[in-house]
Amino acid sequence: MILWLTLAFPLAAAIFLLAFRRPGTASTFALTLGAAQVLLLAACAWQIHSEGVLQQGQYLRADNLTLLFLANLTIIFAVVLVYSVGYLRHVPSGRFSSPRWFYALLFLFVFTMLAAYLSANLGVLWIAIEATTLASALLVGFYNTKGAIEAGWKYLIVCTVGIAFALFGTIALYLAAVRGGVPQAQALDWTALMAAAPGMGAAHDLLKLAFVFIAVGYGTKIGFVPMHSWLPDAHAEAPAPISAMLSAVLLNCAMYALLRFDAITSHAIGTTFSHTLLIAFGCLSLVVAVFLMIVQRDLKRLLAYSSIEHMGIVALGVGIGGPLGLFGALLHSFNHSLAKTLLFFTTGKVRDTFDTLRMDRIHGMARVLPYTSSVLIAGGVAIVGLPPFGLFVSEFSILMAAFGGSHYIIATFMLIAFSIGFGALLFHFQRMLGGEPQLPRSRVKLLPTEIVGMCTCGACLLFLGVHIPGVLISVLNSAVAVLQ
């Protein structure tokens, strides 16, 4: 029951926001509905945690892996919603349409991602992920400027083509399942496929073909190089809260889909093929992203490439495999969303103050915006993987898994990439923060909503870096067990 409720609520909220047209009330409604949604999600998470697996009908299912990603979605959604309320009041004039549409589309976006997380059926998963592209395209192009429209169009086209390839992969998997003896009605059900997977080993050519298409298809949504061309544009041109949602939640959603498929493929034909492919994509994304980070000129594009880098790390974690690698990968996706959200929140303030996001035109930020700069530094330290923040723990886990599995070359690559990424970020941030300011100090005040948002993220990151709560560890371990 609770699964249906959790899923249907954001859709109802979106319709309600669009139907009820009183001016000036959009933010209040959105906040109330958002609070209700967060409560629902928390209740749902609690139930999953106590029962282990929730199944509702043929198409809705939630297990511990879902729980982890649901927790991720809840925290980020709550923070982003609070931030947007303040952000939307300060958007430069002449830029955009209406807050009502913003919140409605945001709820619709959350609905599609929830549908992806709660689906028991690979076909429904595909439909939901395609729907996330559709729901977020209008959000990416929200500002209606030339850059935003171009980014939105590119996003729509590239991701739809990618998802079409993922459909082909899903069909190939379905075909392999049917030929392996699974009855047609159940051949797309994840649990049935996991159970029948060892028996599907005969059709290994077809399974390999299916996985390649899935990796390419959902990899487009995750942002693997070379299918990443939409990512920097979309994340740079979207409004700051939406960039945070895209980087923090959408990439994780697509990674979730890939994880489900990887589990089936590994159980059927062993981990060699799928993990080699994931390691290849991971290394490629990591290396290309860090090198491109050096030459970026726009702050949000820099952060977008950093997202690609971290998704590459997650893929490497999954590819290296074993319980430790998976643990590290899942923890890393969780931590990365917190850190990236924090960083994107600061960009809103930066753009407000300096009217540009071009890093070579921003100087002396440390004196003009002291609080935002400290948050930026904290976020920068977090994102490059330094202690005491959470990303250090997850990257360390993945490195330990790499050394443990004798993947020395991969570990070396990772370390070199981390250093280059660190150098790039240091270079860009130092250029922005230091130097002579051209503006008087603190012209724009920090809004309470922003403070709440940034502090929550920062606190979570710090906490996770110092001591991972037992609850989280048990959830992570059970999630890993789900996939093993």
55 contacts another protein (rule: CB under 8 A): no
Beta pairing, strands 60-62 & 54-56: antiparallel
Among 2, 38, 42, 149, binds another protein (CB under 8 A): 149
Q: CB pairs under 8 A, 24+ apart, for 468-476? A: 468/331, 468/390, 468/393, 471/49, 475/49, 475/64, 475/67, 475/68, 475/71, 476/68, 476/327, 476/330, 476/331
Shorter beta-carbon distance to another protein: residue 128 or 375: 128
Q: What is the DSSP string of 93-142?
A: TTS---HHHHHHHHHHHHHHHHHHHHBSBHHHHHHHHHHHHHHHHHHHTT
Query: Nearer to another protein by C-beta: 260 or 301?
Result: 301
Decide if residue 304 touches another protein (CB under 8 A). no
Among 52, 147, 270, 404, binds another protein (CB under 8 A): 147
> Whole-number minimum distance, CB 47 to another protein, in Å?
25
Among 188, 318, 331, 417, which residue sits at the site for another protein (rule: CB under 8 A)? 188
Near another protein by CB under 8 A: residue from 153, 273, 371, 463: 153
C-alpha to C-alpha distance for 312 and 348, rounded to whole angstroms: 26
Task: Give the range of 125-133, 265-273, 320-328, 464-472 binding another protein by CB under 8 A.
Answer: 125-133
Minimum gap (Å) between residue 223 Cβ and another protein:
15
Told to check if 137 binds another protein by CB under 8 A, we report: yes
Q: Interface with another protein includes 236 (CB under 8 A)?
A: yes
Interface size with another protein, residues (CB under 8 A): 50
36 binds another protein (CB under 8 A): no
Binding of another protein at residue 145 (CB under 8 A)? Answer: yes
Pick one of 2, 18, 31, 164: the residue that binds another protein (CB under 8 A): 164
Own/partner contacts of 450-456, CB < 8 Å, gap of 24 or more, are 450/83, 450/86, 450/87, 450/345, 450/348, 450/349, 452/79, 452/82, 452/83, 453/79, 453/80, 453/82, 453/83, 453/341, 453/345, 454/342, 454/345, 454/346, 454/375, 456/75, 456/78, 456/79
Region of 135-143, 193-201, 422-430, 459-467 interacting with another protein (CB under 8 A): 135-143
Name which position in 10, 17, 48, 59 contacts another protein (CB under 8 A).
Answer: 59
Distance CA 432, CA 477 (A): 41
Stretch 196-225 residues interacting with another protein (CB under 8 A) = 205-206, 209
* DSSP code, position 62: E
What are the CA-CA distances from residue 327 to residues 167, 191, 304, 320, 408 (Å)?
28, 21, 24, 11, 19
**What Rg, from alpha-carbon coordinates, does the chain have?**
21
Give residue 393's identity as a one-letter amino acid code: V
Smallest gap, in angstroms, from Cβ of residue 34 to another protein? 24
Instruction: Work out which of 2, 38, 53, 138 binds another protein, going by CB under 8 A.
Output: 138
Measured from the CB atom, the residue of 292 and 369 that comes closer to another protein is 292
Interacting residues toward another protein by CB under 8 A: 59, 121, 123-124, 126-127, 130-131, 134, 137-138, 141, 144-147, 149-154, 156-157, 160-161, 164, 167-168, 171-172, 174-175, 178-179, 184-185, 188, 205-206, 209, 232-233, 236-237, 292, 295-297, 301
